[in-house]
Amino acid sequence: MAELYGTAACLRIFGDDLDPDEITSILGAKPTRGERKGGIWLTPRGDQMIARTGRWSIDVARREPGDLDGQIAEILAPLNQDLLAWQDLTTRFRADFFCGLFMEEGNEGLELSPKTMLDMGARGIKFGLDIYAPKRRTK
């Protein structure tokens, strides 16, 4: 299996009753993006959108070559390590790691370390992947 070309990672917490300031207080870090349900947020293109639910999220820079273990560790490191606080959050809200896998060739892949899987599981964080196939080259 060839090394994965690139990865992106974002921790997201969602809920209709979510207050981004509360999540920031509990986790001890400011989000990359946070809004209450009904609040206004800007898309990457600058369009204004109304939040359908509350959101608190934090992401890190995309990595080439891919390093999902490193990105997840970078996101979790500055956050509260108290698993009871995480259990409270993940019972009240939906939490996930939303990750992108970017391939340059076919048959690229990656492995997650047992520590990364344990860190996510102990906090009740789901793990999701969007996989982007290599672009077809035209002759």
90-110 tens-digit pLDDT: 999 999 999 999 999 888 889
Q: pLDDT digit string (tens) for 24-46? A: 999 999 999 999 999 998 888 98
Show Cβ contacts of residue 135 under 8 Å, excluding neighbours closer than 6 positions: none
**In whole angstroms, what is the distance from residue 127 CA to residue 98 CA?**
7
Tell me: cis bond preceding 44? Omega within 30 of 0 counts: no
Angle at 57 between CA 51 and CA 62, to 5 degrees: 120
Task: List the one residue out of 54, 65, 74 whose CA is nearest residue 110.
Answer: 65
DSSP state of 3: E
Q: Supply the pTM of this predicted model.
A: 0.91
**In whole angstroms, what is the distance from residue 118 CA to residue 55 CA?**
24
